[in-house]
């Protein structure tokens, strides 16, 4: 059987029960070749004939079909906010098609620093004519600090096991509140939401919230201690003394010196990842306490994630260096006897001096 896109498609069946019966079913081929995009009517006609009889034409069955078009629009009650405010978000699912739409689940992701208010999630179905019905979401919603994922519960037995039917022209209105924290200053303020239907997903809509600093400062405070870690666990315990006048360098160039108790404090640090490194030359005879479980704690540096207006702790545990044993002293060599002194030579006797001759007498002149 060949199929032609412009001709109806016929199905023939032969039934053998107390004779031969031929049935013919005629369907428009367009209903099978491609999905409907607009509202249309499908006419179904059947013919039947017994063996040796003329075919009999049935009455036409007309079915009106259409396509749902579920559109999501996300809005907020304000365009800008500051830490401490509460923002009310609204998700509007509108069925602009001419067939019912089945909404199964809702996914909403809050921006950084916005926390979902507990027990604030509500959903109401508004049908054409103004009738309303509350849709349960609380029991099946998996809520978190950064948004929620809700499986829509059915309203009646005609809905799917998970989902609510939105008629043509109907609207599902979902409302919830979120608290703005100082951490929102580091976020983008972009809020994304999408709905899942029985046949796919709706469009993803984005709401942008501008965050103002307000009275909250975006600076953070860093506190810490340099101490002798007697317990060798990397954490300060009661009774462990601090190392005075130790030097710690921050990644922005700040030089920190501890007090007499080994403590330090730095105000108004920029948000973000802050890195501190201890100067070994300021703590001679000590080294960082090793940690077999965390490689990061074996380093001379510490990393903290500084949030706006937050306080973070940065500690350095030290232990005394183990002096290596002195090298062995080599044994002294055996003493070599000193050579005997040579005998002194005997003195050579000097010759005796010869006697001088007596002077000759001088003759007298007178």
Model confidence pLDDT, tens digit, residues 239-278? 899 999 999 999 988 899 999 999 999 988 888 889 999 9
Joined together, the tokens standing for residue 297 give 């704690």
Burial class (CB in 10 A: 0-12, 13-18, 19+), 95: buried
Cβ 209 vs Cβ 81: under 8 Å: yes
Element (H, E) at 30: helix 30-33
DSSP summary character for residue 201: B
Residue 169 forms part of a structural domain: yes
CA angle 287, 233, 277 (to 5 degrees): 40
**Does some domain include residue 336?**
no
User: Within this chain, do residues 194 and 233 fall inside the same structural domain, yes or no?
Assistant: no
Residue 348 counted as domain residue: no
Counting the structural domains of the chain, the total is 3
Site of tokens 């509460």: 86
Using DSSP bridges, classify how beta strands 210-211 and 80-81 pair: parallel, antiparallel or unpaired.
parallel
C-alpha 266/C-alpha 245 separation (Å) is 15
Nearest to 256 by CA among 296, 307, 319, 314: 314
Domain of 285?
220-320
Position 303 in a domain? yes
272: CATH: 2.60.40.10
User: CA distances (Å), 307 to each of 141, 270, 271, 311, in order?
Assistant: 29, 8, 5, 8
Question: Max alpha carbon distance in the chain (Å)?
Answer: 221
| Tens-digit pLDDT profile for residues 285-343 | 888 888 767 776 778 889 999 887 789 999 999 988 877 777 887 777 777 777 777 87
pLDDT score for 162: 64
Verify that 252 and 139 share a domain, yes or no: no
Please give the model's pTM, rounded to 2 decimal places. Answer: 0.47
77 shares its domain with 201 = yes
The residue with tokens 């008629």 is 167
- In this structure, the answer to whether residues 265 and 305 fall within a common structural domain is yes
Residues 6+ apart with CB under 8 A from 118: 143
For the chain, residues with pLDDT lower than 70 are: 1-41, 62-68, 138-147, 153-162, 216-217, 292, 296, 362, 364-366
CA separation for the pair 207, 203 (Å, rounded):
13
Is residue 344 included in any domain, yes or no? no
3-class DSSP state for residue 184?
helix
Q: Which run of H or E residues covers position 108?
A: strand 101-109
Residues 185 and 284 in one domain: no
């Amino acid at each position: 059987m060949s199929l032609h896109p412009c001709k109806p498609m016929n199905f023939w069946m032969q039934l053998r029960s107390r004779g031969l019966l031929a049935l013919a079913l005629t369907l428009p081929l367009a209903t099978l070749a491609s999905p409907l995009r607009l509202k249309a009517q499908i006419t179904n006609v059947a013919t039947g004939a017994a063996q040796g009889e003329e075919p009999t034409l049935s009455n036409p069955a007309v079915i009106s079909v259409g396509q749902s078009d579920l559109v999501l629009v996300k809005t907020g009650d304000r365009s800008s906010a500051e830490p401490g405010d509460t923002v009310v978000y609204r998700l509007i699912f509108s069925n602009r098609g001419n067939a019912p739409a089945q909404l199964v689940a809702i996914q909403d992701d809050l921006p950084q620093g916005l926390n979902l208010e507990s027990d604030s999630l509500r959903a109401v179905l508004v049908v054409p004519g103004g009738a309303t019905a509350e849709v349960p979401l609380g029991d099946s919603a998996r809520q978190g600090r950064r948004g929620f994922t809700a499986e829509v519960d059915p309203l009646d037995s005609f809905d799917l096991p998970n989902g609510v039917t939105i008629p043509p022209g109907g609207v599902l209105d979902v409302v919830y509140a979120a608290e703005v924290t100082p951490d929102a200053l580091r976020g983008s303020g972009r809020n994304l939401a999408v709905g899942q239907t029985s046949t796919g997903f709706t469009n993803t809509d984005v709401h942008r919230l501008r965050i103002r600093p307000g009275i909250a400062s975006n600076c953070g405070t860093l506190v810490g201690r340099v101490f002798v870690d007697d317990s060798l666990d990397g954490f300060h315990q009661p009774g462990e003394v601090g190392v005075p006048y130790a030097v710690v360098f921050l990644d922005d160039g700040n030089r920190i010196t501890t007090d007499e108790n080994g403590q330090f404090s730095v105000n108004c640090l920029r948000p973000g990842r802050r890195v501190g490194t201890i100067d070994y030359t300021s703590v001679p005879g000590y080294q960082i306490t090793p940690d077999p479980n965390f490689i990061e704690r074996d380093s001379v540096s510490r990393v903290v994630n500084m949030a706006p207006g937050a306080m973070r702790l940065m500690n350095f545990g030290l232990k005394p260096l183990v002096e290596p044993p002195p090298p062995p002293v080599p044994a002294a060599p055996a003493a070599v006897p000193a050579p005997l002194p040579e005998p002194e030579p005997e003195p050579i006797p000097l010759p005796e001096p010869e006697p001088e001759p007596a002077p000759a007498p001088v003759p007298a002149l007178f």
